[in-house]
Amino acid sequence: MSKLIKPEGYSPILDLRETEQAIKMIKDCFQANLSSELKLRRVTAPLFVLRGMGINDDLNGVERPVTFPVKDMGDRQAEVVHSLAKWKRMTLAALNIEQGHGIYTDMNAIRPDEELDNLHSLYVDQWDWERVMSKEERSLSFLKEIVVRIYNAMLRTEYLVSEMYPQIKPCLPEKITFIHSEELLQLYPNLTPKERENEITKKYGAVFIMGIGGKLTNGEKHDGRAPDYDDWSTIAENGFQGLNGDILVWNTVLKQAIELSSMGIRVDKEALLRQLKLTGEEKRLELQFHKCLMNDVYPLSIGGGIGQSRLCMFFLKKAHVGEIQASLWPESIREECAKNGIPLI
């Protein structure tokens, strides 16, 4: 229970009925703005994929997917998706999406190894998106341009929330701040990655931390990333410079930084080979997804995920993600939340 943050004197601004109405409004507004900003069309996504195809997201490589046998397929094992990072790129090719356009979908996942707290649930819901790009666009400047577009969609949604519910005051800054994970390490060398995130996000309100997945000068990673979707090891004049990152905002209720989005420019053939070698995962080249990527079946792309429940939680000033979504919680967590005025669905 030590991981549960209990804001002193917390009381929800909206009741349960108002919250449910606000959740729908936020989701409708944000996805419409996201689609318009990035030229994305909505597609239907799978809840599960076949094991052994290389399609499922490996996250940090240790999380167990939920698996089950499929009777009519000879008991082949299927896995509930962790995310749709690779599936989306396959879908871009299948739909023959043109450059400068893309897709988005509602991604629902189950992560049984998640450590449950105010922000983490067994149930994950996010908008997964992917957009076709050119070789010339594989740059830091293009990544930043896309981040700004997504952040603008967040700003417009926050404004609508404050218009609909004047008791909820907007808090996002007008612009998002960019910083590389190595720069962040140099600023706060004696802090852990999470502590560094808190310091920089508290200072600026909204930040995009770049270059996540590769080792920093202290020999450690800022955070883990799978080697086969984001390009986190792009070689620059001063060494590795990753073309990915996380959008973080300062949560005024929990008094900490929260991640709303993880995204990046996806690996091309060179980056895939480099990162598989760096992580000792060359065996993945035998998987279907990786073979297709090496044979230029899939287009160059940029993509990411944006947490739906977290976005609603942030805009509605909620203390716990369980106030937004229906999930399973240990009875001890439910009791502790009830004692501290945090009503879980």
Residue 257 maps to a domain: yes
Confidence (pLDDT) at 58: 63
Residue 345 maps to a domain: no
Which residues are catalytically annotated? 57, 111, 126, 246, 259, 262
DSSP assignment, residue 219? S
DSSP assignment, residue 267? P
Three-state secondary structure readout of 78-100: EEECCCCHHHHHHHHHHCCCCCC
Dig out the tokens for 274 from the structure.
């480099």
Within a 13 Å sphere around the CA of 237, how many CA atoms are in the beta-carbon half? Answer: 0
Confidence (pLDDT) at 53: 76
Q: Identify the residue whose tokens are 């770049």.
A: 210
Residue 295 maps to a domain: yes
Dig out the tokens for 308 from the structure.
């739906």
Domain that holds residue 203: 16-339
Torsion angle, alpha carbons of 119, 120, 125, 129, to 10: 80
Beta bridge partners of 155: none
Contact status, residue 252 vs residue 319, Cβ threshold 8 Å = no
Contact status, residue 182 vs residue 219, Cβ threshold 8 Å = no
Using N-to-C axis directions, what is the helix angle for 308-315 and 140-164, rounded to 10°? 50
Low-confidence ranges of the chain (pLDDT < 70): 1-2, 57-62, 236-240
Q: What is the CATH classification number for the domain harbouring 198?
A: 3.30.930.10
Question: Whole-angstrom distance between the N-terminal and C-terminal Cα of the chain?
Answer: 19
C-alpha 91/C-alpha 74 separation (Å) is: 26
H or E element in which residue 298 lies: none
**pLDDT single digits (tens) 112-131:** 888 899 999 999 999 999 99
Residue 67 maps to a domain: yes
Spatial CA neighbour of 300 closest among 263, 265, 262, 275: 265
Residue 152 maps to a domain: yes
Domain total of the chain: 1
**pLDDT single digits (tens) 42-67:** 999 999 988 877 777 666 556 788 89
DSSP assignment, residue 215? B
Burial class (CB within 10 angstroms; exposed 0-12, middle 13-18, buried 19+) of 295 = exposed
Confidence (pLDDT) at 54: 74
Residue 3 maps to a domain: no
C-alpha 322/C-alpha 246 separation (Å) is: 23
H or E element in which residue 112 lies: none
Residue 2 maps to a domain: no
Residue 28 maps to a domain: yes
- Strand runs (DSSP E) across 60-160, as ranges? 67-70, 76-80, 102-110, 123-132
Q: How many CB atoms lie within 10 A of CB 37?
A: 16
Confidence (pLDDT) at 1: 44
Confidence (pLDDT) at 50: 87
Residue type at 113 in one-letter notation: D
Residue type at 104 in one-letter notation: Y
Contact status, residue 75 vs residue 50, Cβ threshold 8 Å = no
